Amino acid sequence: MTADSASPESPDELTIVHDEANSRYVLMRHGTELGETVYARPKPGVIEFLHTGINPSQQEHGLGSRLAAGALDDVRATSNDRVVALCPFIRAFIQRHPDYADLTRR
């Protein structure tokens, strides 16, 4: 895994790691995995977000939103891929944050 982008809650607490080998973005805190969003690339230029999950003991703390934002920010920064939000959480996040809607129209 490599840290392709960071989305800190405080400067050294939360990190978003792009685990390309396993087609996922992982939310980490001090080396501990808190959650992931899994994706597929069904064809060139398309990234489908399939599932997002946060450790049940950590839910309701805004971590899913931090993970979604970090993953979408990384897609924006590193590719021109069109996002297809099959994951209900990612789809709802994009609806609540229209500044990410352009990613679905690329």
Q: What is the pLDDT of residues 12-49, one digit of tens each?
A: 589 999 999 999 999 999 999 999 999 999 999 999 99
- Give the residue among 65, 63, 62, 73 at the shortest CA–CA distance from 32: 63
Residues 6+ apart with CB under 8 A from 87: 37, 38, 49, 50, 51, 52
- pTM of this structure: 0.86
Tens-place pLDDT, residues 79-92 = 999 999 999 999 99
Average pLDDT over every residue of 44-61: 91
Q: Would you identify the CATH topology of the domain 2-104?
A: Aminopeptidase (3.40.630)
Tens-place pLDDT, residues 2-12 = 344 444 445 45
Residues 51, 56, 19, 73, CA torsion sign: positive
